[in-house]
Amino acid sequence: MLSWVEKYRPKSLKDVVGNDKVKEKLKTWIESYLKGEKPKPILLVGPPGCGKTTLAYALANDYGFEVIELNASDKRNSSAIKKVVGHAATSSSVFGKKFLIVLDEVDGISGKEDAGGVSELIKVIKKAKNPIILTANDAYATSIRSLLPYVDIVQLNPVPTTAVYKVLKKIAEKEGLDVDDKTLKMIAQHSAGDLRSAINDLEALALSGDLSYESVQKLPDRRREANIFDALRIILKTTHYGIATTALMNVDETPDVVIEWIAENVPKEYEKPEEVARAFEYLSKADRYLGRVMRRQNYGFWKYATTLMTAGVALSKDEKYRKWTPYSYPKIFRLLTKTKAEREILGKILKKIGEKTHTSSKRARFDLQMLKILAKENPEVAADLVDYFEIKEDELKVLVGDKLASEILKILKEKKKLEKKKKKEKEKLEKEEKKKEKAKEEQPQLITQPKKVEKEIKVEVEKKEEVKEKVVEKPEVKDVKEKNEQKETKKEKKKEKKKKEDKGKQLTLDAFFK
């Protein structure tokens, strides 16, 4: 049983969806062959499953060509190429048969296993009388770089999601599937322009009997890691907003990395200064949003940054440049790799300063500058700070250079030596002091005894006085004294009374005797 991918492979160009301009280009190309002209072979370049192989076969079918194919699974060394395509390419049509030679995935021709394959291919191309179509995912793979001057590169884009959806809808109807539009659209979105994977997903789900929206959501995301060079080529070649904005769809790099790639290669592709200026205007705006992502930790800003750096840059040019541009790796990354170790060390120092001073690394960066200035102006103080922040030798070297670092370290060493010496001296003095005290303590008791006795006596006297005072102050004693006094006054009063009485008695007696 044929898989749905094969079953629904378009036989004619009119059934191939998307990439309309490419279809037109292929038609004029093959027609010029039919007119006896000899245009260069075509290299169809595009992401997986967008219809490269399909296009080649559909073209052959529409124009009555027989396909001679050497595909990726065959060996493609020099002798295989000579044997399989060499003859067909160079021979004139036999019995009115026309041949179209299709060499699939030439970027996969390996230097080792397929030794000599590419150079043999170039030989075949030079002598070819029949049309040749080559396909590749990556036109800039180093393995086929030597081939590029001999071919006409034709770029294909991922199949638009709406086109993928339409193909799926047609297949679903023909297969009588009970599936709703929402689910089909979800499969299309997941495919990221890879029609082969979209059809395979639909078939797999139909076989499983579960075509629900939920099961589609669980599908693995087909967005594969695409070569950044592919994305660059799309951005820098296209003048189409929609195509440019989807260029990064398959790129597994964050926008802050991608922007460096674009910035590096804009001047290589764009030739007019005003186009370069416009492109950089957009890149600087994109960069501002990337800065906001970092500062506010709001990744929502990424979408503005990526739109500006893709569509903004793409639309900065007046028209597409029809040339092959070798794009390159951003110099800034090379520089960053070179300075990576240094930056790591500085980071360590900043952390130490931050911890000691309880400040942010931003503020610590300021202190670091102060330390740099101090190192020149006042190495003595700098040495103290180096000691305080516990900055190591390699770190200091990165910070102030080898010469200053060794000067500061020398000062620090001297200081440490001096400190050690002082510490030792202090310890020695303390020891001696202790020794003296100990010696004093250990001398005969006699000398100290009198003092002790005196003390004791003094204490005794004090105690006695205290007791005296206490006795006087005793409340009972006070009472007794009062009572005694009271008694005495009473006695006296009695006496006086008696005296008075006696006197009275005397008076009355006197009166009597008068």
Ligand X SMILES: Nc1ncnc2c1ncn2[C@@H]1O[C@H](COP(=O)(O)OP(=O)(O)OP(=O)(O)O)[C@@H](O)[C@H]1O
Contacts with ligand X by CB under 6 A lie at 5-6, 8-10, 16-18, 46, 48-54, 135, 137, 159, 167, 195-196, 199
N- to C-terminal Cα distance for the chain? 180
Under the binding rule (CB under 5 A), the answer on residue 197 touching Mg ion is no
Closer CB to ligand X, residue 5 or residue 115? Answer: 5
Query: Which range, of 51-59, 139-147, 173-181, 498-506, touches Mg ion by CB under 5 A?
Result: 51-59
Element holding 134 (H helix, E strand): strand 132-136
Judged by DSSP in three states, 194 sits in coil
Helices then strands, counting H and E runs in the chain, come out as 24, 5
Rounded to whole angstroms, what are the CA distances from 478 to 174, 467, 472?
130, 16, 8
**Residue 58 Cβ vs Mg ion, minimum distance, rounded to whole Å:** 12
Q: Which does 9 bind (CB under 5 to 8 A by kind): Mg ion, ligand X, none?
A: ligand X
Query: Which range, of 53-61, 222-230, 393-401, 413-421, touches Mg ion by CB under 5 A?
Result: 53-61
To the nearest 10°, report the CA torsion of 375, 378, 384, 389. -30
Burial class (CB in 10 A: 0-12, 13-18, 19+), 219: middle
The residue count for binding Mg ion (CB under 5 A) is 2
Under the binding rule (CB under 5 A), the answer on residue 54 touching Mg ion is no
Closer CB to ligand X, residue 4 or residue 389? Answer: 4
**Residue 193 Cβ vs Mg ion, minimum distance, rounded to whole Å:** 14
> CA-to-CA distance for 252 and 248, rounded, in angstroms?
8
Q: Which does 50 bind (CB under 5 to 8 A by kind): ligand X, Mg ion, none?
A: ligand X
Query: Which range, of 45-53, 221-229, 279-287, 340-348, touches Mg ion by CB under 5 A?
Result: 45-53
List, in sequence order, the alpha helices (H) in 46-194.
Answer: 52-62, 78-81, 87-90, 117-127, 161-175, 181-191
Q: Which does 18 bind (CB under 5 to 8 A by kind): ligand X, Mg ion, none?
A: ligand X
> Tokens representing 409?
């370290």
Closer CB to Mg ion, residue 53 or residue 245? Answer: 53
**Residue 170 Cβ vs ligand X, minimum distance, rounded to whole Å:** 10
Which of the 8 DSSP states describes residue 311?
I
Closer CB to Mg ion, residue 52 or residue 233? Answer: 52
- Residue 48 region by backbone torsions, left for phi larger than 0, else alpha for psi between -120 and 50, else beta: beta
**Residue 51 Cβ vs ligand X, minimum distance, rounded to whole Å:** 3
Rounded to whole angstroms, what are the CA distances from 45 to 33, 49, 174, 230?
21, 11, 31, 9
**Residue 282 Cβ vs ligand X, minimum distance, rounded to whole Å:** 31
Q: Tell me if 39 sits within 8 A of 32, measured CB to CB.
A: yes
**Residue 248 Cβ vs ligand X, minimum distance, rounded to whole Å:** 19
Rounded to whole angstroms, what are the CA distances from 205 to 188, 190, 192, 200, 448?
13, 14, 18, 9, 107
**Residue 227 Cβ vs Mg ion, minimum distance, rounded to whole Å:** 16
Q: Which does 141 bind (CB under 5 to 8 A by kind): ligand X, Mg ion, none?
A: none
Closer CB to ligand X, residue 156 or residue 398? Answer: 156
**Residue 81 Cβ vs ligand X, minimum distance, rounded to whole Å:** 19
> CA-to-CA distance for 149 and 133, rounded, in angstroms?
15
Q: Which does 49 bind (CB under 5 to 8 A by kind): Mg ion, ligand X, none?
A: ligand X
**Residue 17 Cβ vs ligand X, minimum distance, rounded to whole Å:** 4
Residue nearest to Mg ion (CB): 53
Q: Tell me if 197 sits within 8 A of 115, measured CB to CB.
A: no
Burial class (CB in 10 A: 0-12, 13-18, 19+), 128: buried
Under the binding rule (CB under 5 A), the answer on residue 53 touching Mg ion is yes
Closer CB to ligand X, residue 135 or residue 316? Answer: 135
Rounded to whole angstroms, what are the CA distances from 83 to 9, 90, 147?
29, 11, 19
Q: Tell me if 122 sits within 8 A of 147, measured CB to CB.
A: yes
Residues 265-304 interacting with Mg ion (rule: CB under 5 A)? none
Closer CB to ligand X, residue 48 or residue 401? Answer: 48
Closer CB to ligand X, residue 233 or residue 278? Answer: 233
**Residue 92 Cβ vs ligand X, minimum distance, rounded to whole Å:** 29
Closer CB to Mg ion, residue 52 or residue 222? Answer: 52
Closer CB to ligand X, residue 9 or residue 185? Answer: 9
Binding interface with Mg ion (CB under 5 A):
52-53
